[in-house]
């Protein structure tokens, strides 16, 4: 069983941004030596999140962010004094953790699926914690 927690460093350049981390997480899974199990991802930030979505057409990411920003605007009379309530709400909606099956030493993702770090209060330097567990 893997006991190591790996870290993926993410630097964002925009206030809201989705960063494809599939390649880095795939390399971690390969290095772990786990053939069958699960890969757990966790973001230790309250204004960021994780999601799985299409990584073939970059306009999908643009559409997701545009709609989130419409539904949860940056300014909307929030009470939180730091001015980033929208980011906290978006983080709660997407969530801060994911579990992906590992089979044959690889992430078991659909043909068009990718893993995304979601920035809602950038630009910032962030991290995603990754643990690969053998079953």
User: What is the distance between the alpha carbons of residues 80 and 91, in angstroms, rounded to a whole number?
Assistant: 15
| pLDDT for the residue 83 | 87
- pLDDT for 124 equals 98
Is residue 96 a contact partner of residue 128, using CB atoms and an 8 Å limit?
Answer: no
Helix (H) or strand (E) holding 23: helix 22-32
Give all strands of the β-sheet with 113-119 in edge-to-edge order. 17-20, 113-119, 48-54
CA atoms of 25 and 132, how far apart (whole Å): 10
Predicted TM-score (pTM) above 0.85: yes
Q: What is the pLDDT of residues 58-67, one digit of tens each?
A: 999 999 999 9
Is residue 50 a contact partner of residue 117, using CB atoms and an 8 Å limit?
Answer: yes
pLDDT value, residue 107: 98
The count of other CB atoms within 10 Å of the CB of residue 35 is: 13
Question: What percentage of the chain reaches a pLDDT higher than 70?
Answer: 98
The side-by-side arrangement of strands in the sheet containing 125-134 is 6-11, 125-134, 37-42, 97-103, 106-107
What is the C-alpha to C-alpha distance for residues 61 and 65, in angstroms, rounded to an integer?
A: 6
- Show the domains of the chain with their CATH numbers: 6-134 (2.60.120.460)
Strand pairing category for 113-119 and 17-20: antiparallel
pLDDT for position 1:
53
Give me the residues of the chain with pLDDT under 50, please: none
């Amino acid at each position: 069983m893997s006991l190591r927690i790996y870290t993926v460093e993410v630097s964002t350049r925009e206030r809201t941004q989705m960063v494809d981390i599939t390649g880095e997480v795939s390399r971690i899974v390969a290095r772990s030596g786990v053939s069958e199990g699960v890969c757990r991802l966790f973001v230790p930030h309250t204004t960021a999140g994780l999601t799985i979505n299409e990584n073939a057409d970059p306009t999908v990411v643009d559409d997701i962010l545009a709609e989130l920003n419409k539904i949860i605007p940056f300014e909307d009379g929030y009470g939180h004094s730091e001015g980033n309530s929208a980011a906290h709400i978006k983080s709660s909606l997407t969530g801060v953790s994911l579990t992906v099956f590992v089979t044959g030493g690889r992430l078991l993702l659909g043909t068009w699926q990718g893993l995304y770090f979601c920035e809602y209060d950038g630009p910032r330097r962030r991290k995603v914690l990754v643990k690969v567990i053998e079953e």
